[in-house]
């Protein structure tokens, strides 16, 4: 009797273990680590909303697996991002990590992605070198060199020769400053002063006073999403536009999340970026409408589109691997994806795992009583200029070793 009871108990335990095994197998977990509170909270809010919209539109089951989105708030502190990512890998056994609101967060998680062979889809952070920090990183946002170079080509052709740069003092700001300056100088322009403001709680006033004194044709700005409205306000309050100084920058400064509240002083500001809520395509119109309807009228910004497309990359990788893929297989299926995004055509370069996309020049205009970044020119299929330099370097050395033959990294990708 005792023996039969023991056998029954063991059988039940085995059944429970195997059932929970099947249940666990049927789930596909995405660990989305984002700043949901603190200085970068708008980034978290936009990306989470976009990821949920993607799931609502495309269902929550792919290749027989139920998608589970686990959202964690890192308050944009990289130590927190690392701790949360570690917990997601070890305790939750996530299949994919995603999010990463700022560069230091992505950098903090990169070694964990490598050690655990977990694909890490960077949806926001935009320093060029991020994708080189782990072979498991795939990026769906943009890079600052991509956006900055386009503006440095436009500026001198439009009467802007002398520029002061003002950037947040960390990875993406330093990329923006460097690539803007190099290209502007190449085009015959001049950066007469380079100013860097702290990332945390910046006070722009003393820096803007310096800009006024330097009397450039334009002030080029990079600040991360969420900080643009403060720059715009202080720029206008100091009457810098009236003093003949133009404000230009990457599209982070006229962020769609804040633009409509910046007031008419923002009219005419020219920026370069990969996404505008006013992008005139049928797909984008649908995206903006659905996003707004699901989020009490909120307008999606470039962070939202990074999150939306990141989900697309994950869903399609899971579908391509028929739900069976581990980290390596998923990563393989993410590389080389090409599709129409609300931003336009986009492509995940299989060699660099970085996004190749169109970059637009835009001007703030009023449409139906609201402020928008209205696109007026496009540079097609822009690869990250940071990577192009790196690849040229690799190619140079390969060609030395192979009698000029080059090698795989030296071939142009064929989207």
Name the site residues for ligand PHB (rule: CB under 6 A).
102-103, 124-127, 171-172, 224-225, 252
Q: Which is nearer to ligand PHB, 103 or 118 (CB)?
A: 103
**242 burial level (CB within 10 Å; 0-12, 13-18, 19+):** exposed
d(CA 161, CA 272): 17
Q: How far apart are CA 225 and CA 251, in angstroms?
A: 9
Instruction: State whether the Cα torsion 379-381-384-388 is positive or negative.
Output: negative
Decide whether 256 or 358 has the Cβ nearer to ligand PHB: 256
Instruction: Kindly state the smallest distance separating residue 167's Cβ from ligand PHB, in Å.
Output: 11
Choice between 166 and 330, CB closer to ligand PHB:
166
Closest approach, Cβ 143 to ligand PHB, in A, equals: 9
Q: What's the closest the beta carbon of residue 401 comes to ligand PHB, in angstroms?
A: 35
Beta strands 120-122 and 65-73 are unpaired
**Residues with Cβ within 8 Å of residue 389, at least 6 apart in sequence:** none
Please say which residue, 171 or 310, places its beta carbon nearer to ligand PHB: 171
Residue 44 vs 156, nearer CB to ligand PHB = 44
Cα dist. 123→74, 177, 247, 354 in Å? 15, 22, 27, 11
Shortest distance in whole angstroms from residue 225 CB to ligand PHB? 4
**Which residues are CB-neighbours of 223 under 8 A, at least 6 positions away?**
167, 168, 173, 197, 202, 230, 231, 252, 253
- Nearby residues of 58 by Cβ (< 8 Å), 6 or more positions away: 311, 315
Minimum Å gap between C-beta 374 and ligand PHB is: 20
CB of 221 to ligand PHB, least distance (A): 11
170 vs 390, beta carbon nearer ligand PHB: 170
Residue in 335, 407, 344, 336 with CA at minimum distance from that of residue 375: 344
Rounded Cα distance between 291 and 52, Å, is 10
Q: Are 356 and 383 in contact (CB under 8 A)?
A: yes
Closest approach of ligand PHB to the CB of residue 102, in Å:
3
Which one, 225 or 321, has the nearer CB to ligand PHB? Answer: 225
């Amino acid at each position: 009797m005792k023996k039969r009871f023991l056998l029954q108990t063991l059988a039940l335990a085995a059944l429970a273990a195997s059932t929970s095994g099947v249940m666990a197998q049927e789930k596909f977990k995405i660990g989305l680590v984002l700043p949901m509170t603190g200085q970068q909270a708008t980034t978290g809010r936009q990306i989470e909303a976009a990821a949920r919209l993607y799931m609502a539109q495309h269902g929550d089951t792919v290749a027989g697996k139920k998608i589970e989105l686990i959202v964690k708030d890192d308050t944009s502190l990289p130590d927190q991002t690392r701790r949360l990512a570690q917990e997601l890998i070890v305790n939750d056994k996530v299949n994919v990590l995603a999010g990463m609101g700022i560069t230091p967060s992505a950098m903090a998680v990169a070694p964990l992605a490598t050690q655990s062979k977990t694909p890490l889809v960077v949806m926001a952070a935009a320093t060029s070198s991020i994708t080189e920090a782990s072979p498991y990183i795939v990026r769906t946002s943009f890079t600052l060199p991509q956006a900055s170079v386009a503006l440095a080509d436009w500026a001198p052709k439009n009467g802007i020769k002398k520029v002061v740069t003002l950037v947040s003092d960390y990875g993406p700001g330093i990329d923006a400053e460097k690539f803007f300056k190099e290209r502007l100088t190449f085009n015959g322009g001049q950066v007469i002063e380079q100013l860097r403001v702290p990332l945390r709680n910046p006070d722009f006033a003393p820096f803007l006073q310096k800009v006024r004194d330097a009397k450039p044709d334009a002030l080029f700005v990079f600040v991360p999403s969420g900080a643009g409205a403060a720059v715009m306000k202080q720029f206008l309050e100091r009457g810098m536009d009236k003093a003949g100084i133009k404000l230009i920058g990457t599209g982070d400064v006229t962020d769609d999340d804040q633009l409509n509240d910046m007031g008419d002083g923002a009219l005419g500001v020219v920026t370069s970026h990969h996404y505008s809520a006013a992008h005139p395509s049928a797909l984008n119109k649908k995206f903006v409408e659905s996003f707004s309807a699901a989020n009490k009228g909120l307008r999606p910004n470039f962070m939202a589109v990074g999150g939306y497309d990141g989900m697309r990359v994950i869903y399609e990788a899971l579908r391509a691997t028929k739900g069976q893929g581990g980290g390596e297989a998923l990563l393989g299926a993410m590389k080389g994806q090409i599709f129409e995004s609300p931003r336009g055509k986009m492509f995940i370069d299989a060699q660099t795992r970085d996004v190749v996309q169109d970059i637009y020049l835009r001007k703030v205009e009023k449409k139906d009583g609201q402020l928008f970044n209205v696109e007026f020119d496009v540079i097609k299929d822009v690869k990250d200029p940071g990577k192009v330099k790196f690849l040229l370097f690799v190619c140079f050395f390969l060609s030395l070793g192979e009698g000029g033959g080059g090698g795989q990294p030296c071939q142009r990708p064929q989207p």
